Amino acid sequence: MGMKIVKIIYVVISLLLVLLLAFSVVNMTVSLKYEIEERAAMGMDAIPLEWGRKYLLTVIDTYRFFLYYVLLSIAVIAGPFIVKKLKGSK
């Protein structure tokens, strides 16, 4: 019973994290698109270095968060199999 609740909580949290990640990626893409279009409408060809830096750091943070999520998921999914195999070999 206890492991079933943990699995349900894990699935709910995973779904929320995936939705948050999707929102973050869409937000970054839309934000960059409109920043470029706004600058182009004003007759400017370049984006200031600080804007590009901010965007790039946001992308890196999002992908780093996704990497942590994937690693945690692998650990949670593989953990019971590893424990079962270790108990079986003793």
HEC string of the chain equals: CHHHHHHHHHHHHHHHHHHHHHHHHHHHHHHHHHHHHHHHHCCCCCCCHHHHHHHHHHHHHHHHHHHHHHHHHHHHHHHHHHHHHHHHHC
The pLDDT of residue 45 is above 80: no
Q: How confident is the model at residue 1 (pLDDT cuts 50, 70, 90)?
A: low
The pLDDT of residue 90 is above 70: no
Q: How confident is the model at residue 62 (pLDDT cuts 50, 70, 90)?
A: confident
Q: How confident is the model at residue 31 (pLDDT cuts 50, 70, 90)?
A: confident
Q: What is the mean pLDDT of residues 10-39?
A: 81
| pLDDT score for 63 | 85
